[in-house]
Amino acid sequence: MKKFLVENLDCATCAIKIENELRRTAGVESATLDFSTQLLHIQARNYEKIEEIVRSIEPSVELKNISASSGESRDMGKPFQARVELIRLLGFGLLFAVVLFLDYAGVVNVSEFAFGTIAVGVYLVSGYSVISAAIKTVLRKDFFDENVLMFIATMGAIAIGAYSEAIAVMVFYKTGEFFQNLSVYRSRRSIRALLAQKPAYANLKTDSGITKISPESARVGDIILVKPGEKIPLDGHVISGASMIDPSVLTGESVPKTIGTGDAVMAGEINMTGAVSIEVSRLYSESSIVKMLELVENASARKSPTENFITVFARYYTPAMVALAAAMAFLPPILMPGQTFEQWIYRALILLVISCPCALVISIPLGYFGGIGRASRSGILIKGSNYLDALARVKTVVFDKTGTLTEGVFHVKDVVANNGYTPNRVLTLAAMAQQHSNHPIARSIIEAYRKTGERVEPVSPDGHREISGMGVEIAFNNRTILVGNDRLMHQENIEHEACNIEGTIAHVAENGVYAGYILIGDKIKPQSAEAISSLRRNGVKQVIMLTGDNQCAAATIARRLDLDGFHASLLPEDKVRVFEKIQSENISGGKIAFVGDGINDAPVIARSDVGVAMGALGSDAAIETADVVLMTDSPAKMAEAVSIGRQTRVIVWQNIVLALSVKAIVILLGAFGLATMWAAVFADVGTTLLAVLNATRLLVKKEDKTVPENEETTGTHQYSTDTAGL
């Protein structure tokens, strides 16, 4: 797939026409053109004629291939010349005022011919760009462009002597177009600011000193110097120095973070206080900031059902309105005695003016991209407006426990011995067995043993075996040590103590003899309770937890967080089966989201309606798998994502209702002779402007407000302790 910037794209309906024409072109597998970002995503067997096809549809546009380098700057087209356009509009307005004075003041007597000549001259001057565009469009055999409709409507008005109204349509249309383009440009500028977060340079340390290079040219293993106030240009880890960094570009959180030797840092973070030397760990094209920006850019390629509907709607709406206008112009005078052609042609012209679908085709894509941009500035990456729509309809959220609702930072709370073993011996055996494991529980056991002042007896990794979802086994010197959960003890037929206490239990056995257990604690994240409350306020009916932890520990977490249910003692493969059971029952209706901490939960993430990877900063696997990526490990981000999805849907539907209702009202008033062309152009241009301004509200980051639903979202929650036959 290739990506192009379509410069000079100032017409939303033109974007739809280009997209539709490309999709009909032989050899083009897919094409999506987003008016908000001016980005064309296209998959084709041959790209040589793409620009030629696009230019044949809209000659003024230019294509710029931005697929070649992920580090290339993404400009959103040429600047909008607001001052020049405003001066031009003021000139048109002055000329229009002269025509109005001559037409209505009655002070200066001019002949009808002279007035008509002056009026037509003003019409041609003020409407030149519209007339020129309309003629070019007709020559391309396209008769349903907004410029063509305005041209036909105003020429019809001139033909029946409504000179002032013809000029009014042009002047007010150009005025509305000015404010519309200004709003869209400012929105694009906000988007451009988001996409311009890439670091501009890197200070490479060499034998001869410091050399300033582009981040794209740095290699893995290079040493770079980052001074206070500079952006960190590449992913890596600190090898000398200490500082505070601002991670808000990536995470949306402005709370500074302390870094020192050995700490990982990400491209895009801002170094605040001290100079640090960093060893580059990934190429710039693979860095976190580039992947984040690519996700934001590519989000426009995945359109929501609402956007696809509007694309189809616009294709049939304008021709239908033109046909209706033609019928209105000629049928009533023919079929109804006493009706004149002049009267009904005027009413038909009103219908033509109001028939442009601009309010919908501009504001709806802009609204969705505003939601995606707003989310990305909060450290929430949504891969398409279809997923934004799905988030708005989420009714069930299923969380993984460890590292998602809890901190995943384990510590040994107690050691209980059995069968003549001492607590110290139990801890020693567990440390020996876990020394080759990277599991968080293993690390907590090793750390607890080191605090005793003893060294772990080194054992060859040849005898080490990870038992998925249950624990570890290590064999050496005719000894076999098992450390794991209750399921592992049952599998090995080892009689052990049942532990109905809060916390994670690691049982220890030596040569088939039960030695005791280690009680390991894990804290609930401070944001978890409020995140779940916020989800409920945003219409989520059911919150469920899946965990491989034991029944007692899971029940404690579920009770403290007021969850609707949980499933405990799950192996990784069990999570998929249990999640599919939740999907098949789906008692809450709506979409089901799964929130996990990355690659370990990939199978469940892939099966959910909305797969969410939490704490995925720097995790390629999580970014690839999930539909929504939360760059921090805060569950509150999930609640914020749902809130943004619902706000986006509300604004999009506000625009749809606004545009269609205003158009319907003016059409009815015009049909009964109660509306003028003035009212029609005000309604068309004004509605478009209001819709665009409404859509751009999403680009402003503010405190999220929940969007309640009519249904009751609180009540007594029934705990499910079903372990699905485990």
Tell me the two tokens of residue 518. 């280690």
Q: What is the DSSP string of 234-289?
A: S-EEEEE--EEEE-HHHHS----EEE-TT-EE-TT-EE-SS-EEEEE-S-GGGSHH
Cβ-proximal residues to 554 (8 Å cutoff; 6+ apart), any chain: 401, 545, 547, 566, 567, 568, 569
Cβ-proximal residues to 52 (8 Å cutoff; 6+ apart), any chain: none
In degrees and rounded to multiples of 5, residue 207 shows phi and psi of -60, -30
Helix H or strand E segment including 358: helix 358-377
Contact 1, 70 (CB under 8 A): no
Tell me the two tokens of residue 602. 């990939």
| Closest C-alpha to 144, from 353, 322, 19, 329 | 322
| Closest C-alpha to 459, from 490, 437, 438 | 437
Tell me the two tokens of residue 212. 């300033």
Residues 383-405 as b/e (b if ≥16 CB within 10 A, e otherwise) read bbbbbbbbbbbbbbbbbbbbbbb
3-state secondary structure of 59: coil
Contact 150, 169 (CB under 8 A): yes
How many distinct helices (H) and strands (E) make up the chain? 23, 26
Contact 481, 510 (CB under 8 A): yes
- Strand partners for 596: 613
- Strand partners for 42: 2, 31
Contact 480, 511 (CB under 8 A): yes
Helix H or strand E segment including 537: helix 528-537
Q: Which residue has the tokens 């037929």?
A: 493
Report d(CA 644, CA 345) in Å as an integer.
Answer: 46
Tell me the two tokens of residue 216. 């794209």
| Closest C-alpha to 332, from 342, 320, 323 | 342
What secondary structure letter does DSSP report for 102? I
Phi-psi region of 512 (alpha: psi -120 to 50; beta: other; left: phi over 0): left
3-state secondary structure of 326: helix
Q: Which residue has the tokens 């609180």?
A: 714
Cβ-proximal residues to 475 (8 Å cutoff; 6+ apart), any chain: 463, 465, 481
In degrees and rounded to multiples of 5, residue 505 shows phi and psi of -110, 130
Q: Which residue has the tokens 């200070």?
A: 203
User: Which residues carry out catalysis?
Assistant: 400
Question: How many CB atoms lie under 10 A from the CB of residue 314?
Answer: 20
Could you give the strand order of the β-sheet that contains 209-213, starting from the edge strand earlier in sequence? 209-213, 202-206, 223-226, 276-280, 236-240, 264-265
Cβ-proximal residues to 424 (8 Å cutoff; 6+ apart), any chain: 415, 452
